[in-house]
Structure 1
Amino acid sequence: MRTVNLILPHSWEELSERQLLFVSSLYLQGLTRNAFLTKAFICLSGLRILLGRYGDRENPVYRFRKKGEKAFPMSMGEILDFCRKCEFLLEYRENFSPLPVLAGRKALNTLMYDACFGQFISAMVYYNQFKDPEQDRHFLDKLCAVMYPPGHWNPDDIRQEDFACLPLHVCYTVFLWFGTVMNVISRECPGLFRETSDDAEPVSLRENIHAMYNLVTEHDITKEKEVARLEMWRVLYDMDEKARRIKEMNERLEQYGRV
């Protein structure tokens, strides 16, 4: 029996640029979980599905070909087994390799270690405002402009129009990327994110941003511009430490009563 060696990436970091773009396009197609994973498996393994199928209705058999090799059969059951190796594409992300260049502009560091706090706030705003790919494309372009800055950070001149002509799935890779950044921040700075329940009142993005600035400036609005220019992670770690101390103090007050 001839053996076919199928090699698949195991994480987002291992995706090639072509694979990343394909996966990004899958996210925009409204696919079911199985359809998403099946298409991802076929692409990431470098297979091409051939016309026709045989076998029974419950477990049909399809024919595939890999470049430079002869065609071979694979049952639907076998396909679904391989699809499980692509489930990381639909799970919680803490690693990512963004496209290095977009619209002729270089990407920030993957975890934004070279970004200032103002850049992070802008990215967070545009990330949260992008809800509908058809109607909110301009917010996605702005997110791209923040993550691929034209030079020294200037919030009044991000030149988002540089990205307007790019295909949606290309720019959507930036949305996936910043989502990964937020996942890492929530892990590294747990004090900045409170647990939510189904009956909890939603907190607006504006209130969240004001709370962040108030925490680090101690309600001194004259310091906000200065804080915006500081290194992003330095500010986040400082806020997380202050939030942790406030939480501990409140817990002690609740335990022993207010004086």
Structure 2
Amino acid sequence: MTIDVTVPRSWTELTQEQLRFLLSAMVSVNRACANIAFPSREAYIAHTVARVQTICFLEWTGITLVTPYASGYLFKYGDQEFTLPAAVLASALTHLEWIRLPPSEPVRLDIVDGAEAIPADLSSGLSFDSWLTCETLWQRYQHTPDDTLLWQMAAILYRKDDIRPDPAATLGIFFWWAGVKNLVSLQFPDFFKKIPDDDEPLPPSYEELRRDINAQIRALTKGDITKEQEILAFDAMRALTELDAQAREYDELNRKYSKT
């Protein structure tokens, strides 16, 4: 028996329906495993990711699990039943390995709580002030996973002050900004310098964030506080473009004078 099925090969290939299903599966699996004792965080991640991959694989292919048995599973596809060894299923799940990593590009739900999102790549609709606010909230979430921080981001990104995302949509905010971070690190490599994996630091503290934000504002205003409100109102991508250019000029000056 031959079955031809296809599954998304990356976050960016997901339809809106598939994205919501993936986020919902992540939420439900994490809840189900919250009180299970695992020997390590790595074991927890491996177990939960495998469960999410399996749930999504079956949903997206239309294959139904009938029952597990000693060394494999009995499945149904349409009117036909067939068995698969566990190793074959594990091999099929490798096509969903991308679920283990955050999106490399911004991906988000178009509509949340009746509100329409700004463009996923932040090409319009976000001021530099709002960028700084979202970045601060996202980094704070790294320290303390509090959904209200992501709700505050949602209020900005979906332009609805009283927005109340459901758990799947709340998780979607986190992954959206993770994709944004990957995007801007490629677009503005001089400002967002890549840190070697072995030297990856812990998320910055709130005070470190404030100092970094103040430094970014000062770099754009060149110390003229009368221009601060004007700078904060800049389109976020325009502001990041200027910061990247300044960082590049600074590096070029350092290289020039280091040789003298």
TM-score by length of 1: 0.82
Higher helix proportion (structure 1 or 2): 2
What residue in structure 1 maps to residue 34 of structure 2? Answer: none
How many residues align? The count is 237
Q: Alignment partner for residue 104 of structure 2, among 69, 85, 94?
A: 94
What residue in structure 2 maps to residue 167 of structure 1? Answer: 166
What is the aligned-residue identity percentage? 22
**What secondary structure is seen at the aligned counterpart in 2 of 1:190?**
coil
1:145 equivalenced with 2:144 (yes/no): no
**What secondary structure is seen at the aligned counterpart in 2 of 1:4?**
coil
Could you give the per-residue CA deviations for residues 104-124 of structure 1, whole angstroms, max 9, x where no partner exists? Answer: 111010101112212211211
CA distance in 1, matches of 2:181, 2:101: 14
Q: Alignment partner for residue 50 of structure 2, among 31, 34, 37?
A: 34
Gaps of 5+ in 2: 31-43
Q: 1:111·1:181 contact (CA, 8 Å) conserved in 2?
A: yes
1:11 equivalenced with 2:14 (yes/no): no
- Going from structure 1 to structure 2, the CA distance change for 1:88 and 1:200 (only over 3 Å counts) comes to closer
**What secondary structure is seen at the aligned counterpart in 1 of 2:142?**
coil
CA distance in 2, matches of 1:61, 1:77: 8
1:49 equivalenced with 2:65 (yes/no): yes
Note the C-alpha offset of 1:139: 0.3
Q: How does 1:203-214 map to 2 (within 5 A)?
A: 204-214=208-218
Note the C-alpha offset of 1:202: 7.3
What residue in structure 2 maps to residue 235 of structure 1? Answer: 239
Note the C-alpha offset of 1:189: 0.4
**What secondary structure is seen at the aligned counterpart in 2 of 1:192?**
coil
Gaps of 5+ in 1: 55-59, 151-158
- Going from structure 1 to structure 2, the CA distance change for 1:147 and 1:200 (only over 3 Å counts) comes to closer
Name the amino acid aligned to 1:17: Q
Q: 1:217·1:223 contact (CA, 8 Å) conserved in 2?
A: yes
What residue in structure 1 maps to residue 116 of structure 2? Answer: 106
Note the C-alpha offset of 1:254: 2.0
What residue in structure 1 maps to residue 80 of structure 2? Answer: 70
What residue in structure 1 maps to residue 90 of structure 2? Answer: 80
TM-score by length of 2: 0.81
CA distance in 2, matches of 1:246, 1:95: 28
